Amino acid sequence: MSSLTAVIDLDLPGPTISRHVYGHFAEHLGRCIYGGFWVGEDSPVPNVRGIRSDVVEALRALRIPNLRWPGGCFADDYHWRDGIGPRDQRPRMVNSHWGDVVEDNAFGTHEFLDLCEMLGAEPYITGNVGSGTVREMSEWVEYVTRADDSPMAALRRSHGREEPWKLPYFGLGNEPWGCGGNMTGEHYADLARQYATYARNHGGNTLYKIAAGANADDYAWTEALMKVSQKLGCGCDPRGFFQAISLHYYTMSGDWSVKGHATDFDVEDWYVTMRRAHRMGEILRGHANVMDAYDPEQRIGLVIDEWGTWWEVQEGTNPGFLHQQNTLRDALVASVHLDIFHRYAQRVSMANIAQTVNVLQAMILTDPDSGALVLTPTYHVFEMNTGHHDASSLAVHVKGEIPTRATDGADVPLLSMSASTKDGTALVSLSNLDADAPTSIVLDLRGREVTGFEARVLTAPTIQTHNTPEHPDAVAPVAHDGVRRHPRGLEVDLPARSYTTVRLVLA
C-alpha cells in the first residue's frame, strides 16, 4: 500500500493552461532550419515548397501552438530584407554565432510563414534590436501584416503573397544582456519601449510584444523592465509598451564550460539534472514575485521562450551546431518543466522549448546522410500532454512526504505531478524521477465521478536509453495497465524512471 496520496478536486478548476506553453523554437542554427525543416524544392527528400513533409507530419501530431523564429542570438544579426525575393538573388551572410557558416537566406519570411501554416502553428517572430534599426523592425511588421497598398504591403505582393499574414507574437530582440548587444537592463528597457512603439498594429493584427527578458535568476533584469513596462497616457498602446517579458533558463548537469554528456552519464548526473530541472520552479517564483509587485493583476505575461537541456555536442559534429542526443532523462526534464508551467498558469503565458529539430532538446533528429527521422523521448512527452492544452489547471495536494534524494546541495523531490481538466475529462501527469525504484500513488479524486480511465507510460530499461534510426522506439509510450480502482479514486503504479499520464472520463 502506497503511503503517498494526491488529492485532486476535480470540481475546482484553476487558471487555464495556455496551449502556448507548448510552443517551440526554430533558429538558424546548425541543422534546425537547413536539413531539419528546409531541404529545398529540388531535394530528393519529400517536401512541399522546400519544407520536409515528414517533419511537418510528425510535428502536427504535437499540435504545436506557436513557433519562434529566426533566433535566438541569430535574430539580432538577421536583416529580414535579405530573406525575401527570388532565392538565387538573396544576399549571403555569415552566421557568426553558430558555426561561422555562410547563410544563403534561402529560408526567409515567406518560407517561415508557409511552414507555420503547414504546421497549424501561430508565428512568433523575434525582431533585431541588437544590430537592426527601428525602421527595419517597423517595416518588417508592416510587410507581414498590412493589407492595403502601403510600400511594404506592395513589396510583399511583388514577392507573391497577396494577403497579409496574421502575426500574433513579436519579440523585441533576444538576450540583450549577452549576444543581443551586451546591454544593461536599464538601457535595454528604454530600447524595448522605443522599438515597441514602432512595431505597430496594422489593420486587425494586434501584436503581443515580448520584451527580451532575464538570464535564469537575474531578477534585477525583470525589475528594470517591469518599472517601465506600463507607462500609460502616452498615446501608445493602452496595454502598455509590451505585453510580456521573456526568461531563458537551460538545464545541464555541469556548468557552461562542461555541460555534461547527453548519453554517457551516471545516476548521480541524473539526479543533479533533475535538481536543475526543478530549479525552474524556484526561478519562476523569483520572477513572478518581482512581477507581482508591479503588476498584481498579472496582466504582463512571463514567456519562457528558451528552455530545455543543453549538453556537450555529439562527438564528430560541428561544435557550433549544438547537436545532441536525447534520452529518457531529457523526457523527464521536460515533464518536470511542464508541471511547473502548469502550476504557474496564471503568469506563464507562453514557453518555447529549444529547439524543435536537430538542436539542443529537440523533438526530432534527422540523419544528415540517410535523411532518416527519429522522434525523441521528449517528443513523446509533448504528445502525451496535448490534453493539457487550454485546459483548466487542477491543484494537486500531496498527503505524505514526497521522497527526496540529496544532491547538488539540495533535496530533489522524486515525484512531479500536475493535472488539468477540459471537455468532461481530466489529465493527470506523474513523473517518477527515482532512477531505480518503482512506486505507487493513490489519486484521491474528489468532486466528480470518474466513469472511466486509461493510462500511458513512457520508460526504458536504462536512464541513458534513447532512440536511433536502428531503434526508433527504444523510448516510446505504451498503454499502462498499472492503474486500478481504489476506495478514494485510483491507485497508479509508477515504474522507476518513468512518465505516466492518466486520462479520466468524468460524469
Catalytic residues: 175, 306
Distances (CA, A) of 172 to 433, 456, 474: 37, 40, 41
- Of 139 and 306, which has the nearer Cβ to ligand AHR? 306
- Of 272 and 360, which has the nearer Cβ to ligand AHR? 360
- Of 253 and 324, which has the nearer Cβ to ligand AHR? 324
For residue 78, give the 3-state DSSP assignment. Answer: coil
Rounded CA separation 264/283 (Å): 28
- Of 75 and 226, which has the nearer Cβ to ligand AHR? 75
Question: Minimum distance between the CB of residue 505 and ligand AHR, rounded to whole angstroms?
Answer: 39
The grid coordinates listed for 77 are: 544579426
Question: Minimum distance between the CB of residue 334 and ligand AHR, rounded to whole angstroms?
Answer: 15
Question: Minimum distance between the CB of residue 180 and ligand AHR, rounded to whole angstroms?
Answer: 8
- Of 300 and 354, which has the nearer Cβ to ligand AHR? 354
Count CA within 13 A, CB hemisphere, residue 43.
Answer: 21
Question: Minimum distance between the CB of residue 402 and ligand AHR, rounded to whole angstroms?
Answer: 32
Contact 432, 495 (CB under 8 A): yes
For residue 349, give the 3-state DSSP assignment. Answer: strand
Check residue 173 and give left, alpha or beta (phi > 0: left; psi -120 to 50: alpha). Answer: left
First to last CA, the chain: 28
Question: Minimum distance between the CB of residue 103 and ligand AHR, rounded to whole angstroms?
Answer: 14
Burial class, 296, CB count within 10 angstroms (exposed 0-12 / middle 13-18 / buried 19+): exposed
Rounded CA separation 253/310 (Å): 9
The grid coordinates listed for 302 are: 512571463
Rounded CA separation 465/1 (Å): 30
The grid coordinates listed for 336 are: 518536470
Q: Which residue has the cell 504545436?
A: 64
Question: Minimum distance between the CB of residue 27 and ligand AHR, rounded to whole angstroms?
Answer: 5
Residue type, 192: A
Collect contacts of 379-383 with beta carbons under 8 A, ≥24 apart.
Answer: 379/58, 379/62, 380/331, 380/458, 380/475, 380/476, 380/477, 381/331, 381/334, 381/335, 381/338, 381/458, 381/499, 382/22, 382/62, 382/334, 382/353, 383/61, 383/62, 383/477
- Of 359 and 475, which has the nearer Cβ to ligand AHR? 359
Contact 269, 253 (CB under 8 A): yes
- Of 71 and 123, which has the nearer Cβ to ligand AHR? 71
The grid coordinates listed for 307 are: 528552455
Closest CA to 23 of 416, 409, 337: 337
- Tell me the sheet residues that pair with 413: 404
Question: Minimum distance between the CB of residue 307 and ligand AHR, rounded to whole angstroms?
Answer: 10
Question: Minimum distance between the CB of residue 342 and ligand AHR, rounded to whole angstroms?
Answer: 23
Question: Minimum distance between the CB of residue 434 and ligand AHR, rounded to whole angstroms?
Answer: 30
- Of 355 and 467, which has the nearer Cβ to ligand AHR? 355
Binding site for ligand AHR (CB under 6 A): 27, 71-73, 174-175, 306, 354-355, 360
Across 247-270, b (16+ Cβ under 10 Å) vs e yields bbbbbbbbeeeebbbbeebeeebb
Question: Minimum distance between the CB of residue 283 and ligand AHR, rounded to whole angstroms?
Answer: 16
C-beta nearest to ligand AHR: residue: 72
Q: Which residues contact 467 (CB under 8 A, 6 or more apart)?
A: 326, 365, 374, 375, 376, 377, 473, 474, 475, 476
Closest CA to 5 of 356, 503, 439: 439
